[in-house]
A and B are shown apart, each in its own frame.
Chain A
């Protein structure tokens, strides 16, 4: 699904991301963990062709993402509020994204159904613009919009941040549902170790732009991670 080759991003002489090789199979759910400044968001931006790599390439389905826009058809993503069009209402935004993927109004309503628990009656029919929602609710809108097209590849940066505990648990179940039912390939970064190992079957640890560990999730993973991050 996704191949990273010899990828490097350098800002003013500082290497922010340096990944010689990484392959992600279709249907895999990957959790990306690492302290602040480890390069998680930069890596996502490189994968989404939002910044130009200093060196190396990212291939989605064996096509270089910087050379062709084919990946946009099967990729859903939400990194930050810059992904939202903040002067639209939530409904208008969903409709806009839906239209781009050729979804009818009925399709959109149906695909938002699994999100109703997560939305908690605070997103739809609020009669206000996205810029007037709270951070947490903006995040929910972004995640729902990213998953709206049933993308083969779903990329989320810190989806659990800013959410209340109930929402976090609901989101976790939702992501597992998407993974199991729709066989979505997922790339999720998080600071919440326990959530991320419940959603993801493979964990990557990033440190100072380097991939330092690549492990399959098992019953010991949480302990290993906690040991790793205990300084």
Chain B
């Protein structure tokens, strides 16, 4: 029975839209997987050499062991951010004569096959082969690996448990977070050395292999906790991670002054705030604001092209990452918008003003970087002008090709739903065209003329904003049937 359920799951995964996206995306995804897998494999085989170079007098296995506790704490953190609750899939079976125990086991066993559990094997196994086996022999090395796998799974189940508790008993999860942070802090202030503890624990394991019983026991305990909890809560409404909260409708009075455009902006702000995916997309984009810290130093400060790139990204990232899905954000109610008294011109104009506001906001936030040099100030101003004068219309141009329906209820990290090859194609011109415009001026060694040209183009776009918007609306109208048809197809 468990096997049948797992094959169903396999079918669900293989037949999911992710794999039926078209060749280009699959190739890109395949390359990404190969790339990261390759890095992990390379690390696994060479980490002993690297460790030996960095800590010449120490045994690489001991150094590796010393890092394990940090690794598992980091792992917990990443899991908290990324790991999805494998829950709702049991709903179709709950009314069938299948034992509850089996379903619960299924849900738990299924979670073992997540990439967060498989990826670490890619460097643990090679490290075991290249460093642990020669030093301790095959038997003990396998026991060592078993302990690491057990701890990985232990993390997996511990996190599932606490993440599930998050809705019902937030204090539990808070306490758990406090303990983890306290450990990190104690280590930071040298009050307690995780490194030493980690070395001692895994070192002992290599000497006394029977100690592997400890991590195995931990997994069993974590598994049992999960099992008991799920068993008592097999009702779909209780399994849902999101707790139904009372909401209150609200209006943003300030925006209603701008008539229908204001209304549309208000609607879009609510869309962003009340759905998981757009919210997390924007939060991720906010991280780009820190790009300056990476790039505003030697040797990048001498040149221009790199700084233009950084300026475009910092002022425009929110617009780029939100804009690449336009109008897919409205895909679930696109028919509603088409049949209401809203013209396409108004629809795009609302978006235009939002992009303008968010780009300007990013510009203002990154203004302090100007203290590092007036050059940054000039370049970011140029980038701002170009983003709101030219790039915004490039986004509108490509928006006519975004025909896939977007599921707003899931986070944006590693979410390939609704991502088509066109997304990758459209991000390129946003960045490359201004750099190409700059290139001849850079080669002729008149960088400021180049900057003036880019800024001037942006200014032209601002001046002819109305005409460009009308042109975008005509372009969009031509493609509206295709868009509406695409959005009606849920995946």
Contacts and interface: CB of A to CB of B under 8 A. Distances in A.
A92 B249 contact: yes
Interface string A161-187: 000000000000000000000000000
B333 A86 contact: yes
Contacts of A132: 244
B270 A88 contact: yes
A127 B247 contact: yes
Contacts of A59: none
B267 interface: yes
A96 interface: yes
B246 interface: yes
A67 to B, nearest CB: 11
A100 B336 contact: no
A83 to B, nearest CB: 4
Interface stretch (A48-56, A192-200, A209-217, A218-226): A48-56
Interface string B243-267: 0101111110000000010010001
A48 B337 CA distance: 12
Interface string B458-491: 0000000000000000000000010011011000
A91 B248 CA distance: 10
Give the residue among B274, B335, B487 with the most A Cβ atoms within 10 A. B335
Nearest to B488: A82
Given A128-B246, A129-B247, A132-B244, A86 B332 contact: yes
A89 B249 contact: yes
Contacts of B408: 87
A127 B248 contact: yes
Contacts of A95: 249, 251
Interface in A13-27: none
B270 A87 contact: yes
B441 interface: no
A190 interface: no
Interface in A27-68: 48-52
B339 A92 contact: no
A91 B251 CA distance: 11
Contacts of B484: 50-51
A88 B260 CA distance: 17
B16 interface: no
A178 to B, nearest CB: 18
A85 interface: yes
Contact of A72 (B244, B247, B341): B341
Contacts of B263: 96, 99-100
A144 B481 CA distance: 26
If over half of B's interface residues share one DSSP class (helix, strand or loop), that class is named, otherwise mixed; here it is helix
B275 interface: yes
Given A100-B263, A100-B341, A52 B333 contact: no
B338 interface: yes
Interface residues of A, number: 32
B270 to A, nearest CB: 6
B275 A87 contact: yes
A222 B484 CA distance: 37
B340 interface: yes
A91 B408 CA distance: 22
Given A87-B271, A96-B263, A129-B247, A72 B485 contact: no
B340 A97 contact: yes
Interface residues on B, range: 20 to 34
B343 interface: yes
Nearest to B487: A82
Contacts of B274: 87, 129
Given A82-B488, A86-B332, A128-B246, A49 B340 contact: no
B275 A48 contact: no
B342 interface: yes
A101 B335 contact: no
A51 B487 CA distance: 12
A89 to B, nearest CB: 4
Contacts of A49: 338-339
Given A75-B339, A79-B335, A101-B341, A85 B246 contact: no
A69 interface: yes
B334 interface: yes
A82 B334 contact: yes
B340 A72 contact: yes
Given A51-B484, A128-B244, A100 B332 contact: no
A75 B338 CA distance: 12
B336 A69 contact: no
Contacts of A85: 267, 333, 336
Contacts of B249: 88-89, 91-92, 95
Contacts of B333: 82-86
A73 interface: yes
A115 B244 CA distance: 27
Contacts of A50: 335, 338-339, 481, 484
Given A99-B263, A100-B263, A83 B485 contact: no
Given A52-B481, A127-B248, A92 B341 contact: no
Given A84-B333, A132-B244, A100 B481 contact: no
A8 interface: no
A91 B267 CA distance: 13
Contacts of B275: 87
A137 interface: no
Nearest to B271: A87
A80 B487 CA distance: 13
Contacts of A129: 247, 274
A127 B246 contact: yes
Give the residue among B248, B251, B339 with the most A Cβ atoms within 10 A. B339
Interface of B: 244, 246-251, 260, 263, 267, 270-271, 274-275, 332-336, 338-343, 408, 481, 484-485, 487-488
19 contacts: A72-B340, A72-B341, A75-B339, A80-B335, A82-B332, A82-B335, A87-B275, A89-B249, A96-B267, A99-B263, A100-B260, A100-B340, A127-B246, A127-B247, A127-B248, A128-B246, A129-B247, A129-B274, A132-B244
Q: Closest 5 CB pairs between A and B?
A: A89-B249, A52-B481, A87-B274, A83-B336, A92-B249
Given A80-B335, A82-B487, A99-B260, 7 more contacts: A49-B339, A50-B484, A72-B341, A73-B341, A82-B333, A83-B335, A86-B333
